[in-house]
Each structure stands twice: as C-alpha cells, then as structure tokens.
C-alpha cells in the first residue's frame, strides 16, 4: 500500500495528523472524561494506525496533556487579541468585549471548554503533571488587568476580582455547555437562548460591578436594544 503523500496542509502532514488526533481526543475527553475516552475510537476517527498516538504523544496521558495545552494556547490567543484590540476602550466597553468574545470563543471551542469546566469542577480529570491550573490562572489574572485598566477605580466598585472573574467565566461557559439541553427544556431555539443568556450574564454582572448604575443602564439600553 502506497504511503500517503505529505502535503503542506492536509492528510499525510505530521502536524495536521497531530492536530486531528487532538481534536478527536478533545471530543472523547469532553464527553466521556479521561477514564472513559477510547484511544481506539480516537485513532479510528482520524484514520491512523495503532502506533500513531504512541508515536506522537507516548500515552493517553500525553494525549490529554496535548489537548489541555491546545486549550491553553487557544485561550491565551483569545485574551491577547482582546487586549491588543480593545485595551484603549472605556472600562464598560472592555468588559462588554470580554464577555461577548469569551462566549464566541466558547462556542467555537466547545469540546475544549467542556474539558476546562470539567477540570475546574472534577479533579478526577486532572493529570498530576498538567500545568492547566497555573497557566489558566495566569490568563485569568491577565483578564482582570485588562478589565480593570487604568480607569477602573473610577468605574468599578470594590470587589474580589479573582472570584468575580471566575464567576463570570463559568457563567458564560456553562451557558455554552448546556446550549442544547436548555433550549429544548424551555422550548426556544438555540441561537435565541445563546443571545439571551449572554445578554443577561453581561447585564447582571455589569450592574453588580459598576459604580454609576444610571450610566450602566444607558449603556445597556444602547448596546442590548
């Protein structure tokens, strides 16, 4: 049997194969957890031999670490892009951009964000060698500094920022994680649910954080109408 032709982008390319294995593994880990995920099903989905996962990742744990590393890099890029594009915006606008950018990221990275939520809520999935918590914590601190900004003292009330940002983060991503089940239960379509959910998260969290409620209400009316 002839070997597949290696192309720059596509089947046969080493990096392409690794990324496809990471994507397939993310789906398995997010649905079944670390223990329940099947290496044979992962390789079957990508269409590679038994030895390919061992060659690239050494073990199931190595593959899981590669998945969490992909998650960390993706989240880091999202935060870095957010800071680069919106650092000079007014404080409330920065918070708005964070909430809606996080929702979009969570929607695009649904398998990976499911793993992030499981990592935080179920220590069973956590690998002893994973840097997930430390790296993710650094990104959350970066997010806090972005939202607070230099004008934060004029805009925001005194809060425990670390607890606040984790609450916002989980509110948004858990809303993404249940974006199929909840619309069925409420008998509304999924896009409507997602839009209403993020609007209400932003509205409630902003009003809990901002000093000038009147200005916030005016902003909300303009932005969410």
Range of the domain at 120: 76-224
Tell me, yes or no, whether 19 lies in a domain: no
Buried b (16+ CB within 10 A) or exposed e, 132-168: beebbeebbeebeebbbbeebeebbeeeebeebbeeb
**β partners of residue 156:** 210
Tell me, yes or no, whether 34 lies in a domain: no
Tell me, yes or no, whether 192 lies in a domain: yes
Supply the pTM of this predicted model: 0.82
Tell me, yes or no, whether 180 lies in a domain: yes
Taking only the tens place, the pLDDT of each residue in 27-68 is 898 888 888 888 999 999 999 887 888 899 999 989 988 998
Tell me, yes or no, whether 27 lies in a domain: no
Q: How far is CA 54 from CA 21, 39, 43, 201, in A?
A: 11, 10, 11, 43
Q: Look at residue 209 and tell me whether its pLDDT is greater than 90.
A: yes
Q: How many domains does the chain have?
A: 1
Tell me, yes or no, whether 178 lies in a domain: yes
Percentage of the chain exceeding pLDDT 90: 45
């Amino acid at each position: 049997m002839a070997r597949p032709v290696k192309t720059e982008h596509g089947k046969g390319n080493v990096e392409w194969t690794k990324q496809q294995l990471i994507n397939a593994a993310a789906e398995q880990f997010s649905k079944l957890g670390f223990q329940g995920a099947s290496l044979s099903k992962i390789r079957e989905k990508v269409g590679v031999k038994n030895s390919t996962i061992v060659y690239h990742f050494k073990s199931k744990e190595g593959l899981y670490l590669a998945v969490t590393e992909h998650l960390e890099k993706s989240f880091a890029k999202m935060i870095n892009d957010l800071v680069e594009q919106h650092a000079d915006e007014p404080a409330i606008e920065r918070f708005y951009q964070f909430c809606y950018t996080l929702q979009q990221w969570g929607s695009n990275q649904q398998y990976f964000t499911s793993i992030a939520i499981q990592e935080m809520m179920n220590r069973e999935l956590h690998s002893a060698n994973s840097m997930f918590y430390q790296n993710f914590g650094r990104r959350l601190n970066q997010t806090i500094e972005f939202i607070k900004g230099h004008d934060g003292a004029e805009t925001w009330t005194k809060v425990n920022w670390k607890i606040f940002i984790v609450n916002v983060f989980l509110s948004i991503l858990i809303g993404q994680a249940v974006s199929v089940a909840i619309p069925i239960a409420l008998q509304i379509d999924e896009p409507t649910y997602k839009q209403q959910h993020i609007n209400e998260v932003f509205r409630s969290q902003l009003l809990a954080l901002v000093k000038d409620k009147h200005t916030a209400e005016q902003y909300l009316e303009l932005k969410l109408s």
